[in-house]
Chains A and B, each alone.
Chain A
Amino acid sequence: MSDLRPESKPDAKLDPIARKVRAGERLSFEDGVALFHHPDLLAIGQLANEVREKLHGDRTYFNRNMRIEVTNVCVASCLFCSFAKLEEGAPGAVTMKLEEAWRELEVRMSDPPAEIHIVNGLHPGLPFSYYEELLKGFKRIKPDVHMKCFTAVEIHFFAQHYGMTHEQVLVRLREAGLDSLPGGGAEIFHPEVRSRISHDKATAEEYLEVHRVAHRLGMATNATMLYGHIETFEHRVDHMLRLRALQDESMSSPARLQAFIPLAFHPDGNGMKNLPAPTGIDDLRTLAVSRLMMDNIPHLKAYWVSMTPKIAQVGLRFGADDLDGTIVHETIYSAAGSTSPSGLKYDQLVRLIREAGRIPVERDTLYNVVREHAREALPEAAFKVKDRKAEKHLVVL
């Protein structure tokens, strides 16, 4: 077996990066690209894990949340999307009546979510008051529920469509009950990719501007990156650096980016269906590089819906400190062929985290601790993951 002596095999690419990370120095664009290309995934994971443990120890966050998509009618024609229908009345097009949307919460009031996460298509035919009433209705049912709604792409669409500024849109929605913004819609910022996969919605600058304004108004936000399609590693690193720069600006604002969520591309039923989905190794590497590159964004989510609960769990050793939440009813990834379940129970999330040797911490949307669990594992029988569309684990080829 090869030698174990630390001084025996210096790594000209990784060692200088490791030194920078340990000294608290920022990584450069070139460092990020080198990390993506480096063959030793476990070494990169180790480094990301060091940063993760320095920031959060063994604490791993999750929340009680639910997803609602009130309309999938959308004027944008993103190549990667399997969820949107272009016109009202098209097969599969759905726009909920307000009462139907509120009912989603009412039926869950025996075990209510702490957060409602709403993401929609860009519907050209709804009045702005629909969204205001939507928020007000949820708050009427559960005044303390946190409304994390509408991506920056939606906010930008509202501004254009209803003739307002980003700030005016955000202020009006906040008055109606909006608490924070989710991170969706970022895709890949670089114009070489964005112009090909989502040319007719908010640009990178417009996406970032909405977040900038939200932060100025004291509204926390998240950010995402859709990876594993036509983009290169350089595009991914560029994306991360733009978010890091935004966060630098927002440090003087009353709110900022809370979490980064890499989203794995799923190819079923969309305009890029001939591409393979990203692999487990790519998922883990992307998590690790994200943790190392974005030193000013406190939390990194292993979004189990996009990368399966198994890989998300392993991701807790590759830099991630958050598993998102129970979610309850996810439809966007489901439409794109994800075999992850559409929701996880509270105890399932707790076990997922404990089995990774971490401490489960239930949080609210703003990362205030609701409950810190003990480290011990639950009995084996408490947990059982089944794929959504079959009895056992599926082969994904």
Chain B
Amino acid sequence: MSVLTDRAIVAAGLAPIAEARRAGDLARVRELASILETADLLAVGALADRIRADESGDVVRIFANVLADLGADVVQVSLADENRLGFAILRRVAIARITGPRAARVRVDWSESGLEVAQVALGFGASELVGPIANRRGLPIADGSALKVKGQGMVQVQALKKKELESLLAIAGRRAVFAESSPRPSTESANHV
């Protein structure tokens, strides 16, 4: 995080929220949160990204084609509303991180946001991605399907797609960890925003 973003956070009037968050005063953060709805998006994103880096590190957990657990520390950002555009999605993710519990697992479903926006959301506080592995047309790719790749022979398409996703995150400066499988837990403990 650079001086530029530091200054943007201060200029956007977000310093008191940053201070409260640093002091662990979540009640105060939530009291001040209304400014997050109107403050400069990049400043809100920068604050969220800083909190994410400090509290959750650079690892991105990915639930591709597997059921994601819904523990108490999960904040699932619901983006199902088709009206929501890039700006609103990113702001919602950032607010979830800033006002959410410490070290929360802020999760975005790329089948709702689109993968491009989901990737950008990783810079706005998200730390988990969930969604189906599909082709460019949105059709699911079968478990057993394979593809001939020059120099590699026959390759499982799902493995190939996971590799692509991994490098996509590396470009965003993050490290991907794929969740292999998870039992479906109770949905009652998850936080939905």
Q: Are A14 and B4 in contact (CB under 8 A)?
A: yes
| CB closest chain-A residue, reference B122 | A281
Q: Kindly provide the distance from the CB of A385 to the nearest chain B CB, expressed in whole angstroms.
A: 7
Q: Are B42 and A389 in contact (CB under 8 A)?
A: no
Interface residues of A in 376-397 (CB under 8 A from B): 380-381, 383-387, 389-390, 392-397
Q: Are B116 and A396 in contact (CB under 8 A)?
A: yes
Q: Are B49 and A395 in contact (CB under 8 A)?
A: no
Residue A337, interface by CB 8 Å: yes
Q: Are A383 and B4 in contact (CB under 8 A)?
A: no
Residue A352, interface by CB 8 Å: yes
Q: Kindly provide the distance from the CB of B12 to the nearest chain A CB, expressed in whole angstroms.
A: 10
Q: Which of A1, A45, A280 makes the CB contact (< 8 A) with B117? A: A280
Q: Are A282 and B171 in contact (CB under 8 A)?
A: yes
Known: A4-B18, A268-B136, A313-B85. A281 touches B5 (CB 8 A): no
Residue B21, interface by CB 8 Å: yes
Q: Which of B21, B165, B171, B172 makes the CB contact (< 8 A) with A1? A: B21
Known: A2-B50, A380-B83, A397-B164. A284 touches B136 (CB 8 A): no
Contact bitstring B1-14, A, C-beta under 8 A = 1, else 0: 11111111110000
Stretch from B67-75, B105-113, B179-187 forming part of the interface with A: B105-113
Q: Kindly provide the distance from the CB of A5 to the nearest chain B CB, expressed in whole angstroms.
A: 7
Residue A311, interface by CB 8 Å: yes
Q: Which of A7, A281, A381 makes the CB contact (< 8 A) with B172? A: A281
Stretch from A34-42, A66-74, A75-83 forming part of the interface with B: A34-42
Q: Kindly provide the distance from the CB of B174 to the nearest chain A CB, expressed in whole angstroms.
A: 10
Q: In the complex the two chains form, what is the Cα distance from A84 to B19 in whole Å?
A: 57
Q: Are A337 and B117 in contact (CB under 8 A)?
A: no
Residue A283, interface by CB 8 Å: yes
| CB closest chain-B residue, reference A316 | B87
Q: In the complex the two chains form, what is the Cα distance from A395 to B135 in whole Å?
A: 7
Q: Which of A1, A6, A280, A380 makes the CB contact (< 8 A) with B10? A: A6
Number of B positions contacting A (CB below 8 A): 64
Q: In the complex the two chains form, what is the Cα distance from A381 to B87 in whole Å?
A: 17
Q: Are A280 and B8 in contact (CB under 8 A)?
A: no
Residues of B within 8 A of A396 (CB): 114-116, 136
Q: Kindly provide the distance from the CB of A180 to the nearest chain B CB, expressed in whole angstroms.
A: 30
Number of A positions contacting B (CB below 8 A): 62
Residue A54, interface by CB 8 Å: no
Q: Are B112 and A393 in contact (CB under 8 A)?
A: yes
Residue B101, interface by CB 8 Å: no
| CB closest chain-A residue, reference B89 | A310
Q: Are B171 and A6 in contact (CB under 8 A)?
A: no
Q: Kindly provide the distance from the CB of B74 to the nearest chain A CB, expressed in whole angstroms.
A: 21
Best-surrounded residue of A6, A356, A385 (most CB of chain B within 10 A): A6
Q: In the complex the two chains form, what is the Cα distance from A361 to B4 in whole Å?
A: 29
Residue A299, interface by CB 8 Å: no
Q: Which of A43, A339, A393 makes the CB contact (< 8 A) with B111? A: A393
Residues of A within 8 A of B164 (CB): 276, 397
Residue A47, interface by CB 8 Å: yes
Q: In the complex the two chains form, what is the Cα distance from A39 to B117 in whole Å?
A: 18
Residue A15, interface by CB 8 Å: yes
Residue B126, interface by CB 8 Å: no
Q: Are A279 and B136 in contact (CB under 8 A)?
A: no
Q: Are B45 and A42 in contact (CB under 8 A)?
A: yes
Residues of B within 8 A of A282 (CB): 171
Known: A1-B54, A356-B87, A396-B136. A311 touches B5 (CB 8 A): no
Q: In the complex the two chains form, what is the Cα distance from A133 to B35 in whole Å?
A: 58
Residues of B within 8 A of A312 (CB): 86
Q: Are A310 and B86 in contact (CB under 8 A)?
A: yes
Interface residues of B in 33-87 (CB under 8 A from A): 40-43, 45-46, 49-51, 53-55, 82-83, 85-87
**What is the interface of chain A, defined by CB distance below 8 A to chain B?**
1-2, 4-11, 14-15, 18, 39-43, 45-47, 49, 268, 274, 276-277, 279-284, 307-314, 317, 337, 339, 352, 355-357, 380-381, 383-387, 389-390, 392-397
**What is the interface of chain B, defined by CB distance below 8 A to chain A?**
1-10, 15, 18-19, 21-22, 40-43, 45-46, 49-51, 53-55, 82-83, 85-90, 110-117, 119-120, 123, 131-138, 149-150, 161, 164-165, 167-168, 171-173
Q: Which 9 A-B pairs have the closest CB atoms?
A: A280-B116, A310-B86, A394-B138, A395-B134, A43-B4, A1-B22, A314-B86, A11-B2, A280-B120
- Known contacts A46-B8, A352-B85; can you find 15 more A-B pairs with CB under 8 A? A1-B50, A6-B10, A11-B3, A14-B3, A39-B173, A280-B115, A307-B116, A308-B114, A310-B89, A311-B120, A313-B86, A314-B87, A337-B136, A390-B137, A397-B165
